[in-house]
Structure 1
């Protein structure tokens, strides 16, 4: 049985339809190695003076289909470098990545990216930005229009579809960017501090939207953030990276993302494990920053 298109149904679906959707995802992935496997990844940047910077060293990580991973760490720990390698923008010095059973060697439609700034086409309308990917794939206009209308409804921008993106606020532009990413139906969504430039209230609303879409679509998401609170609230799994060279220092498995789906995130913060985990991670990163400063002073 062929699976129905992912975004052809409303985001709120009946229990029976939900089981059918999950069955179709399983059918689609039968016979493949599902998920993302990062194996012994290292990245070295050569300098003009003959030296080099070891940005990442021996990073290994396995993500199952549908997991949400948040990545924390001090500046210079290689978070964004790791994300750019997973996206296919950079080729690692050593190691490999396997997505759904095949090697990742460059960008492709299986991975979608949401940047800190929307990176939208300012000369296009909201609708045309979201439909860009499906149009480039040669999707029939009627099918593309249905997907775009549905996604704009999901992110709350149906009434703004004919607006130019420069007419929108920062939060609205990020919702367009998220809808544009989802319109391509990627297996993995990569998010590089996508909420960092938003005000506190808009950021909280966007966090709730990310959790809702994660649960409803079953996408694998990797989120880079500098916010410990955001990493805790959105990460089903959370890794803290250490710098020089960039490596995984500690991993957490957390209950807060599941709790936050459809709930007030401020209530989730009242969970007895939330504050102690937050303090532990803050102290961990603070100590790393202090160590970096100490090294800098010694070399000065």
Structure 2
């Protein structure tokens, strides 16, 4: 009789534990149950084996959670990386559908439908006058980022700019303002820049300024540059050599790479200018 009552109480206690586990109302969801069974081994002398085990439902629940936890973490991390990459692309690439990815970072044949490249600036001209973006409003501007100590690419780009602007003005009656922005303000002072640009074309407006002002404008126009091969005061500047066409609203409408020649550059600029006037 005593054994029967003890067995009955044990069953009720186990049932209460299971109910509390399912309801989550117990002090802890990690409830263990104990399986009391007579030992069937020889020499057991009627002793009972105490085998603590987690309930079957609890084991299944833990296994299910472990099964889905790893994939969830992987997909969550992948989504986070994709989100950062998408935001980075929005900051670095202008709006519109590019038809080519050659040339400069935004695509040489990209038509911009509302620029996110560019911004306000305050720089110093070769005539020691303050120049801001407001001074270019109402004009078509061909804007090139470089430096006067460039051994090869810089001079070639300035020659191409000069010939293209000359062709647009003489043959197509289109006036385009060529602007050279230095990425080496330490050496490209207003007087030095004036003498340098005069060798290519007196129409090219040179802009320089403090190191912080040049760095800010380069960031706004997504231009990469970095000092390399330094040997005292002699060094080179690694840069993306970006050349932009800005409309009279100071919006970037095209980005040209180093693969263009003067005729191709003038033709592409003329397309943009005439498409707006039509």
Query: Above 0.5 in TM-score?
Result: no
Alignment TM-score, normalising by the size of structure 2: 0.23
Q: Which has the higher contact order (CA 8 A, sep 6+)?
A: 1
